Amino acid sequence: MSVHQRNARVTVRSVQGFKDRGERFPMLTCYEALSARILDEAGIPLLLVGDSLGMVVLGYDSTVPVTMDEMLHHTAAVSRGASTAMVIGDMPFMSFQGDADEALYNAGRFLKEAGAHAVKLEGGGRIVDVVERMTSSGIPVMAHLGLTPQSVNQFGGFRVQGRTEEQAHRITEDAKNLEAAGAFSLVLEGVPSDLARQITGSLTIPTIGIGAGPHCDGQVLVYHDWLGITPGKTPKFAKAYAQLGVAIAEAARAYADEVRSGAHPDEEHSYS
């Protein structure tokens, strides 16, 4: 027997257990192995390899250009770093909206090739059938409704969703249908707190909020927002728990000054 006592992997059953016991839970996005290891050891149970990757790591203006290959590459890195957390791979734009066979095949690639334990899909309506096919094939699905960034062009910008009665009704119906299709959890992004409270109360599966107020069962933040690395104006909900952007810039300036003055490397950092 190994001398290392590893914690058991977080599963869809553990996530349901959080809701059943009324325990709030955190999720963070993550894009590479070293951060995955740190977050895993800090006890974050869910690591989402979000397609926000495109904006915070790859320098795109939106999540729309992100490809399957980019997502699989980063999901595999996170899977290698996380030994306890559940790793969820985000299906990129147009990898699941078209042909249903291709959607199922792409979802399977996250589990088979990238070591993910579940996939996340944005949207309701038309994709409910695809979700049903995935869950009945043994692929756990995290659903995602509200301000779904892949639809930014359809929404006409990053705008809070569910403020009109019609929108609120559609999101509520989609949530029920996705639960019925076997989704094990639901991300609610950019919706009014009251709507998130109602949906959370009406579902058996847990909701995970981002810009959806305090009533969801879990919460998620984007890694770079949470660490205060994202430059410029961030959304209202993006609470920073550190100011690493400032710290990195200060460290860069200190290093550059020391190299220019000859203070680095000193004897302590050189071989005799």
CB of 209 to ligand KIV, least distance (A): 9
Q: What is the DSSP string of 157-207?
A: SS-----SHHHHHHHHHHHHHHHHTT-SEEEEES--HHHHHHHHHH-SSPE
Decide if residue 174 touches ligand KIV (CB under 6 A): no
189, 250, 258, 267: which one is catalytic? 189
Helix, coil or strand: residue 20 = helix
Interface residue with ligand KIV among 10, 12, 15, 51 (CB under 6 A) is: 51
CB of 238 to ligand KIV, least distance (A): 10
Q: Point out which span in 47-55, 129-137, 171-179, 247-255 binds ligand KIV (CB under 6 A).
A: 47-55
Decide if residue 50 touches ligand KIV (CB under 6 A): yes
Decide if residue 95 touches ligand KIV (CB under 6 A): no
Question: What are φ and ψ of residue 150, in 5° steps?
Answer: -65, -20
Q: What is the DSSP string of 194-235?
A: HHHHHHHHH-SSPEEEESS-TTSSEEEE-HHHHTT-S-S---
Question: Is there a contact between 186 and 216 (Cβ–Cβ < 8 Å)?
Answer: no
Does the active-site annotation cover 32?
Answer: no
Q: Binding string, 176-215, against ligand KIV, x = CB under 6 A?
A: -----------x-x--------------------x-----
The Cα 223–Cα 30 span in angstroms is 6
Give catalytic residues, as residue numbers: 189
Contacts with ligand KIV by CB under 6 A lie at: 29, 48, 50-52, 90, 187, 189, 210, 220, 222
